Chain A
Amino acid sequence: SAVISQKPSRDICQRGTSLTIQCQVDSQVTMMFWYRQQPGQSLTLIATANQGSEATYESGFVIDKFPISRPNLTFSTLTVSNMSPEDSSIYLCSVGEIGLGEQYFGPGTRLTVT
């Protein structure tokens, strides 16, 4: 299994600002995913990040709001731009390999926007 770390673990931000969340994996992985979990809700996939290509965004999520980088096979960042209180959520990255199916999750970043 993969060991995943995220930074920061939590943050309180003012509306209108941006926050970049980092995700680091202890091994090379093909696919990295970013999820959002709003308070009291389940997880919703934001986008899939593959190294060397543009991230693929799910319906309702756009690159201008959630730009993603994937510079190598062990690292990715998600930026939450121009934040509003509605962006207050836990943001989680996960990794998986095509054909194996199992996904592993990082500890999450708890974001509060005031």
Chain B
Amino acid sequence: KQEVTQIPAALSVPEGENLVLNCSFTDSAIYNLQWFRQDPGKGLTSLLLIQSSQREQTSGRLNASLDKSSGRSTLYIAASQPGDSATYLCAATSGTYKYIFGTGTRLKVLA
């Protein structure tokens, strides 16, 4: 059974800092891993999708990597801004359409 965890649970950084969010999963036979952003009381915004054959995906200041052998994915945010403050969720699917979500990392970027 797939389990997904995220460390740290919360993170506070000064503006401009580069940061890494971590996502670990127990079943290495994943099909996709997707990173989302959630603002307080809102729905989820898809950030990046990494398919099992890929190692990383980039979008603007965001870069997500996937290492299936170690059961890890990281989300790298360059030059963080206060507008990046949100909860970041990763979700993995193991060959089916069902996503298992991580516990989330609550990020606060201080101006």
Using CB atoms and an 8 Å cutoff, list the residues of chain A in contact with chain B. Answer: 1, 6, 31, 33, 42-45, 48, 90, 92, 94, 96, 98, 101-108, 110
Contact = CB atoms under 8 A, between A and B. Distances in A.
Interface residues of B, number: 22
Interface in B64-96: 89, 91, 93
Contacts of A105: 36, 43-46
Contact of A48 (B36, B46, B97, B103): B97
Interface in B27-49: 31-32, 34, 36, 41-46, 49
Contacts of B31: 101
A96 B46 CA distance: 12
A102 B44 contact: no
A110 B93 contact: no
Given A43-B89, A101-B31, A104-B46, A90 B97 contact: no
6 contacts: A6-B43, A43-B89, A45-B98, A101-B93, A105-B43, A108-B41
Contacts of B99: 45, 103
A103 B103 contact: no
Tell me what chain A mostly uses at the interface: helix, strand, loop, or mixed: strand
B25 interface: no
A31 B97 contact: yes
A89 to B, nearest CB: 12
B51 to A, nearest CB: 6
A107 B42 contact: yes
B49 A101 contact: yes
Nearest to A97: B97
A86 B32 CA distance: 32
A101 B46 contact: no
Contacts of A90: 41
Contact of A92 (B32, B44, B46, B51): B44
A101 B51 CA distance: 8
A106 B49 CA distance: 17
Given A42-B101, A45-B98, A92-B43, A102 B34 contact: yes
Contacts of B51: 101
